[in-house]
Structure 1
């Protein structure tokens, strides 16, 4: 027989989490990444074009290096990071994203970020959005996307279940991570990636997140049954 839920438990179960990727969803950082990769090519004699690196965006840097069959990833990362910091003023926040997220926060959504960008580069960008993020997950000891680990760790921070979350990303690796985590996914079509089948919910602009998520707000959250 189940025990009655406390008011705090009812409130927690009514919450929804909106988790977002950073690059290609919140910020247009492609010019910064291009500068970073140009430095890698110049200083390390790497011949791989940026387009090949870009195809794997969303994964941790070391995972991309393995996919590109490039050795000495630590040295490449140091060069890449230093060049990206130097070119950080080229980043631009996507038009309308701040307004959309603040509106969703006012509607009760708990906001979080799950990104493969390092914390030292992610935090300054997130601070400039003016949006309250309850959790920020960057690469750590867990597996990176497309594994479900980063999304599940973010939900653990928020004490929410996958059924209570939506992940917004722009790359196929984001979609795969959400699928494996059991989290609903929205494709940010204003970003860098193009998804194949199966078709998913898609927002052509940040403003389109509002009507898309309005339907999600009406879905009941499965109730946990206390023993």
Structure 2
């Protein structure tokens, strides 16, 4: 017995890119002479591309159409990826360890290009069975759509699966999908304590073991 699948978030969970997203977006605002609004960093975590692109235009005030704001941001991120993604400690090992027993999926708010690039750079293409971008579903995180789609593609019951997340919107998304959630919260804008109380909190992915995930869906 055990989980039917393990579904990982990518940004902030496997790769340390949340701060890069923030730097790129803040850079676009600074180039346009705009102050960065309080709360925008947290608000955009987990949003789909068009959701955060609209936020950049409507809340931050970038003087572009949302599609152009998205294009400029993704190009900035792609440049950072080409210079090398910072993979979080134990991330690749954890995915491979889970892949020894369970199907593996990734459900990420990143655009498809960045998900595929990340999987390739981490050398996990042979382990990840399914990947979903929230661009490919109706709603981004904190809605459950991305996680539900990953489980649908794997042919598994979300209630019998474990999600591995880091950020507030991602945790809410996985919980809304009915999944057991393992949280590895960042020191950069950690989720609220009351939300983490609904998850199993780990310090690092080195602590993600077969015994742990089997206990979560028993």
TM-score normalised by length of structure 1: 0.80
Deviations 1:16-71 (A, max 9, x none): 21111111100001343244214311443332259732453111233235556336
> Structure 1 residue 127 and structure 2 residue 120: aligned?
yes
Moved more, 145-154 or 80-89: 80-89
Matches within 5 A, 1:35-184: 35-48=23-36, 52-66=40-54, 69-70=58-59, 72-88=65-81, 89=83, 91-106=85-100, 108-131=101-124, 132-138=127-133, 139-184=135-180
Change (3 A) 1:34 1:144: closer
Alpha-carbon distance between aligned partners in 1 of 2:54 and 2:8, rounded to the nearest angstrom: 25
Which consecutive aligned stretches of 4+ in structure 1 deviate over 6 angstroms post-superposition? none
Tell me the CA shift for residue 196 of structure 1. 2.6
**Aligned counterpart, 1:194:** 191
Give the conservation status (yes or no) of the 8 Å contact 2:137–2:146.
no
Moved more, 206-215 or 134-143: 206-215
Name the count of aligned residue pairs. Answer: 205
Change (3 A) 1:50 1:123: farther
Identify unmatched segments of 5+ residues in structure 2: none
SS of equivalent to 1:194 = coil
TM-score normalised by length of structure 2: 0.83
**Aligned counterpart, 1:205:** 204
Give the conservation status (yes or no) of the 8 Å contact 1:110–1:133.
yes
Change (3 A) 1:31 1:15: closer
Alpha-carbon distance between aligned partners in 2 of 1:194 and 1:169, rounded to the nearest angstrom: 11
Identify unmatched segments of 5+ residues in structure 1: 1-12, 220-227
